[in-house]
Amino acid sequence: MNKNMKNYSVNKTINLLINKYRKKNNKFSYPLLDDAFSNNDLSKGIKVILSGQLTMSKETKNFEKLFAKKIKAKYAVMVNSGSSANLLATFAACNPMRKKRFKKGDEVLIPALCWSTSLWPLVQSGLKPKFVDVDPYTLNVNSKDLIKKITNKTKVIMIIHALGNSSEIDLISNYAKKKNIILIEDTCESLGSKYKGKSLGTFGDFGTYSFYYSHQISSGEGGMIVCNNRADYDLLQSLRSHGWTRNLSNRKKIEKKYPNLDNRFIFANSGFNLRPTDISASIGNNQFKRLSKFKNIRKKNRDKIISGLKKSKKWKNQYNFFKINKNIDPSFFGFPIFLSKRYSHKKFSLIKYLNKKGIENRPIISGNFLNQPSAKLYKFKQKAKDFPNAQIVQERGFFIGLHAKPINKFQLKLIVDSLLSF
């Protein structure tokens, strides 16, 4: 059997198995994401399993190269989740091997509307958070308000690009460079979004991304960090894998200093095991090639839902919509909805109603994070009441999914009728 015939036979067998054992999510009529993985995505993952090279091999390297090229960053490092990406970026930014680094006790600015693993790596590395309020309808910090809160103690800014949107990130980035402040962009919800033609995540020292199942692309679990500095790239690779020297550009120089150590296992730094599998990388890589297609379909689906709601005069009294910041070319995965002030007390009733109708939904990030029980374990000087806009998002906001394939008439009618009939 020649190579082409063998590949055809393997592909046919894999597709037969996928079609036989694949199960649909029947819990929701309109889930956050419908059919996260195509047959081709699953086929890529199965082929990796059959190859026996499961952990961070050629598939991971190929994905990293393609990702960096498309995002227009010099370097990309894949990890096992978006949360791990934030963890790794934070610990790289304070590492003794980095010339420009923050120290314990330094101040970090972060939106009050944030995710758990955007905040806690900063706290765990010794930073003191200073929370900043957000615009309740763009979900992002006001850049001018953020800059006003910068003091001599501010050494780090963590920007969170929420649901495909952004603040004036160029203004923040320029100010951070001027003041020698480390800028980390949490872009886990905004892969594919651009500000003035430049990809979000590429303005700061580090940009992080997530490939969770309901995000712009999915590898099940997975994440990526981008940077533009070779030394940072070396550092990220070392910290990702135990702190060993294998991926350092000066590996041989270090090895010569320690001739009595096995050069396969020389640990030049602290580290973690945040390595991805090649299974995730192969699926993520395959989906990433379709990101532009997904982006366009999601935009069209969003327009259809808005158009459907606006056919009724009723929506104006009940709901407000997400506002896209100027200069943003957004990449969505969710459709945020805000109850009008007069109906804010009915949010949980609405969520239960949507669940009953089969429409899966989620809160916007984690709401005003200072309300979370974990925040109460730490003696933050600021309180939840200090951030009224983040509180508005928590009390009145939620989102439903925007699928990566065209919404059908049944789904559109279900969403529109359910929202308007409540």
Active site residues: 215
Beta bridge partners, 335, equal 400
Phi and psi torsions of 255, nearest 5° = -60, -35
**Separation CA 286–CA 338 (nearest Å):** 34
Residue given tokens 């009915």 in the structure block: 346
**Does residue 191 sit in helix, strand or coil?**
coil
Question: At which residue do the structure tokens 């533009």 appear?
Answer: 228
76 in Cβ contact with 87 (< 8 Å):
no
Query: How far is residue 408's CA from residue 418's CA, in Å, rounded to a whole number?
Result: 15
| DSSP states along 286-345 | HHHTTHHHHHHHHHHHHHHHHHHHHTSTTHHHHEEE--PPTTEE---SEEEEEE-GGGGG
Residues 6+ apart with CB under 8 A from 254: 245, 248, 266, 268
Burial class (CB in 10 A: 0-12, 13-18, 19+), 28: middle
CA 329 to the chain's CA centroid = 17
What is the rounded distance in angstroms from the CA atom of residue 340 to the CA atom of residue 353?
A: 17
